[in-house]
Amino acid sequence: MTALRIAVANQKGGTGKTTLSVNLAAGFHRRGPTVLLDADPQGSAGHWVRVGGEENDLPPVQGLDAGGVRAGILQAGKLNRYVLVDCPPHLKSDVLRQVMGAVDWVLIPIQPSPLDLWASVDMTQAVQGARVGNPQLRAYMVLNQLDERNALSRSMHQALAEFEVPALANGLARRAAFRSAALEGGSVYRMGGRGAHAVRDVEAIINEVLSK
Ligand SMILES: Nc1ncnc2c1ncn2[C@@H]1O[C@H](COP(=O)(O)OP(=O)(O)O)[C@@H](O)[C@H]1O
Ligand SMILES: [Mg+2]
């Protein structure tokens, strides 16, 4: 079995790494054996699954300790079809670098404001650095907390064009369902009609990744 290994990373906090990685993991879990590796010492993804208890629809979440990042990801890839990695919000530790050395994809959630994009510029260098040892690494930004009613501003398009990492065509809108899912300890897939639009966002990202 060759696994698809996807890290969700941004050195900036609060951009939606955990929200995106947990919901992507739930979507992939419906397609095949999946594990979510939590490389963030804050352990939000693990907390998220524990809130849901046995009723949650999430794949197993396993901690990934700084000492065994590469080995942990490769081992998870032997046992699963899909491996998601939720990353810590800093570039200081070596963890992010090690993760990017051992995955096929890195998805970088950013909020659709030029300020947030500029704050994520260090990620470009981190991606380029990781490609020295992992030349196949595919990197895309994923716009998060899009306002459904407003098209992206012209300044955002310009800022995106200057950024060396391309953006996926699909992103996540800002939706109460993403917050409710965390409160309830499951994914948006478990929310029925309340989560339908959010599921559509997540599915579009998964299908885009699988088709590239
Ligand atoms: N698409 C979204 N719609 C609504 N709220 C969101 C969305 N994405 C993230 N959030 C909220 O934003 C906050 C930060 O998201 P989180 O996933 O914890 O970011 P990170 O892991 O990058 O720190 C959380 O309160 C989360 O519920
Ligand atoms: Mg997080």
Q: What is the DSSP code string of 55-97?
A: G--PPPEEE--GGGHHHHHHHHHHH-SEEEEEPPS-SSSSHHH
CATH number for position 165: 3.40.50.300
In the reported structure, the alpha carbon of residue 201 is separated from the centroid of ligand 1 by a whole-number distance in angstroms of 14
Output the average pLDDT for the chain.
Answer: 93
CB of 56 within 6 A of ligand 1: the answer is no
The four Cα atoms 81, 85, 86, 89 give a dihedral, to 10 degrees, of -160
Give the residue among 52, 56, 54, 58 at the shortest CA–CA distance from 28: 58
Return the residue whose CA atom lies nearest to atom 10 of ligand 1.
Answer: 16
Q: What is the pLDDT of residue 35?
A: 98
Q: Which of ligand 1's atoms lies nearest the C-alpha of 173?
A: 1
| Predicted confidence band of residue 1 (pLDDT cuts 50, 70, 90) | low
How far apart are alpha carbons 20 and 26 in whole angstroms? 10
Domain that residue 114 falls in: 4-211
CB of 175 within 6 A of ligand 1: the answer is yes
Q: What is the pLDDT of residue 85?
A: 98
Return the residue whose CA atom lies nearest to atom 25 of ligand 1.
Answer: 179
In the reported structure, the alpha carbon of residue 211 is separated from the centroid of ligand 1 by a whole-number distance in angstroms of 26
Residue pLDDT, tens place only, 71-121: 999 999 999 999 999 999 987 778 999 999 999 999 999 999 888 888 888
The whole-model pTM stands at: 0.96
Q: Ligand 1 pocket check: which of 38, 144, 179, 205 to mutate, most ligand atoms within 8 Å of Cβ?
A: 179
In the reported structure, the alpha carbon of residue 67 is separated from the centroid of ligand 1 by a whole-number distance in angstroms of 28
Name the pairing type of β-strands 138-143 and 105-110: parallel
Q: Please report, as a single letter, which amino acid is at residue 128.
A: Q
Question: Which ligand has the nearest atom to the CA of 184?
Answer: 1
| Predicted confidence band of residue 156 (pLDDT cuts 50, 70, 90) | confident
In the reported structure, the alpha carbon of residue 154 is separated from the centroid of ligand 2 by a whole-number distance in angstroms of 29
Q: Please give the share of the chain, as a percent, with pLDDT higher than 90.
A: 77
CB of 99 within 6 A of ligand 1: the answer is no
How far apart are alpha carbons 80 and 173 in whole angstroms? 29
Specify the number of domains making up the chain.
1
